[in-house]
A and B are shown apart, each in its own frame.
Chain A
């Protein structure tokens, strides 16, 4: 059974710092991996999607990498801002059917 783990559970950093969020999964046979952002009381917003054949994806200050063989993905946030404060969720899609398996998230707080 696929399990997704995100470390750390919470992270507090000063504004301007570069940071890395980690996601690991137990079964490397994934279809794709998606990073989401969730603000308090809100829904999930997709940030980046990495197909199983890709190594990384970039969007603005965000860069996500994927190492299928080791079962790991990282989300790199450059020059963090207070507006980046949110919970970041990692989810893997295990097959062509759309079922996503989620980690429990990393709650990020960026202090001004």
Chain B
């Protein structure tokens, strides 16, 4: 069982560069989301999707784009990287509309913007 797979694990970007963080899940979960984790701030929701073709903004969406063309994949795009986007990024998935199922997280992508 692969679960939730994130790539890459580590990335260093220069200010202004763009990149895509990949997230894939093999559990046929409708719901997928991206969080960033910063010291002292906890995990904050960036964007989420409740199914293919449907995305919405979370708490901190500025500077990030998402799309959901398949159930399995939910990439996060940084359009023009800024030092403030230095963080650890986590992708998560779960079944929608089910109170008794847990959320699963990937291992994270540690991004440094210089």
Which residue numbers of A lie inside 8 Å of B, CB to CB? 31-32, 34, 36, 41-46, 49, 51-53, 89, 91, 93, 96-105
A46 engages B104 (CB within 8 Å): yes
B92 engages A100 (CB within 8 Å): yes
9-residue interface stretch from B42-50, B69-77, B79-87: B42-50
A99 engages B48 (CB within 8 Å): yes
A49 engages B43 (CB within 8 Å): no
Q: How many B residues touch the partner, as a band?
A: 20 to 34
The 5 residue pairs across chains A and B that have the minimum distance between CB atoms: A98-B31, A44-B105, A104-B42, A43-B107, A96-B97
Task: Name which of A36, A44, A49, A104 has the most chain B CB atoms within 10 A of its CB.
Answer: A44
B96 engages A43 (CB within 8 Å): no
Contacts A97-B31, A98-B48: A52 and B99 contacting too (C-beta < 8 A)?
A: yes
**Which residue of A42, A49, A51, A105 is within 8 Å of B107 (Cβ)?**
A42
Residues of B within 8 A of A99 (CB): 33, 45, 48, 58
A102 engages B42 (CB within 8 Å): yes
B90 engages A51 (CB within 8 Å): no
Which residue numbers of B lie inside 8 Å of A, CB to CB? 31, 33, 35, 40-43, 45, 48, 50, 58, 90, 92, 94-97, 99-108, 110
Complex formed: what's the CA distance from A43 to B33 in Å? 14
Residues of A within 8 A of B110 (CB): 41
Task: Name which of A32, A45, A98 has the most chain B CB atoms within 10 A of its CB.
Answer: A98
Beyond A42-B108, A93-B99, 20 additional pairs, beta carbon < 8 A: A34-B102, A34-B103, A42-B107, A43-B90, A43-B105, A43-B107, A44-B105, A46-B102, A51-B99, A89-B43, A97-B50, A98-B31, A98-B33, A98-B50, A98-B103, A99-B45, A99-B48, A100-B33, A100-B45, A103-B42
A98 engages B94 (CB within 8 Å): yes
Which of chain A's residues has its CB closest to B39's CB? A104
Residues of B within 8 A of A105 (CB): 42
